[in-house]
Amino acid sequence: MSEESGIAVAIVPVTAFQQNCAIIHDRATKQATVIDPGGDVPVILARIESLGVTVTQIVLTHGHIDHAGGAAALKLALGGVPIVGPDRRDLFLLEGLAEAGAGFGMMDARAVTPDRWVSEGETVSIAGADFAVLHCPGHTPGSVVYAAPSLNFAIVGDVLFRGSVGRTDFPYGDPDALMVSIRDKLLPLGDQVTFLCGHGPASSIGVERRTNPFLVD
């Protein structure tokens, strides 16, 4: 995303999973959204303070512990800002966050219920830009992607990575659904779209279309 967009993205890798929690803010208004606070809430709060931004919401791409485990605590620390997303089909994962966290030694994880579930076709305002909600199941039933065509930018969670795709080796995982999500929802966004993924470096739709072994015929 170019500086001309007026939007800045700060990545805060959190927990042993090195999940890409992101703080996206409008450079002019300093209004910010936190994407997928998986844990290490004090680290996230310190970065918010260093950026000098005001967080107005927390947005989740899906309900896994490494993406949502810190959402309840961060909401409390920020004075009750709303939590937006994911799709309601990830409710069972969000309800089980404390138990899932205990299994990974993340004892601060707490169950959370979003203030707003999102569905395909809706939009979410992030740093003053409209992001379309795309339901992209496969990794989890309720995984969503947030795409802003005006910015040529998308937030894809664990649906697509540089050189890889999201895991589907869970009881609820669906590899066929994941590939349909990528083929029918993400690739049509266009090669020019860059994306932030849940782990590892960012990439673009064009690079992945040409080089990702899961997508190249």
Q: Where are the domains of the chain?
A: 3-211
Q: What pLDDT, on a 0 to 100 scale, did the predictor assign at position 90?
A: 98
- Say what the pLDDT of residue 217 is: 72
Q: With cut-offs at 50, 70 and 90, classify the pLDDT of residue 64.
A: very high
Whole-angstrom distance, CA of residue 68 vs CA of residue 64: 6
- Closest C-alpha among 105, 127, 97 to residue 25: 127
Bridge partner residues of 148 (DSSP): 153
Is residue 15 over pLDDT 60? yes
Measured at the alpha carbon of residue 22, what is the angle toward residues 69 and 190, in degrees to the nearest 5? 115
Closest CA to 109 of 41, 171, 45, 62: 41
Average pLDDT over residues 36-54: 98
φ, ψ of residue 147 to 5 degrees: the values are -125, 130
User: CA 142, CA 64: separation in Å to the nearest integer?
Assistant: 10
Percent of the chain with pLDDT over 90: 95
Torsion of CA 188, 145, 126, 210, to 10 degrees: -40
Has residue 65 got a pLDDT over 60?
A: yes
Starting at the edge strand that comes first in sequence, how are the strands of the sheet with 123-126 ordered?
A: 123-126, 129-135, 144-148, 153-157, 194-197, 203-204
183-198 mean pLDDT? 98
Q: Which residues of 52-90 are buried (b: 16+ CB within 10 A; e: fewer)?
A: ebebbbbbbbbbbbbbbbbbbbbbebbeebebbbbbebb
Compute the average pLDDT of residues 112-124: 97
Residue 93's pLDDT is 98
Q: Look up the pTM and report it.
A: 0.97
Q: Which CATH number fits domain 3-211: 3.40.50.1010, 3.40.50.2000, 3.60.15.10, 3.90.1150.10?
A: 3.60.15.10
Cross-sheet strand order for the sheet of 7-14: 7-14, 19-26, 31-35, 54-59, 83-84
Mean pLDDT over 142-166 rounds to: 97
Q: Is a pLDDT exceeding 80 seen at residue 4?
A: no
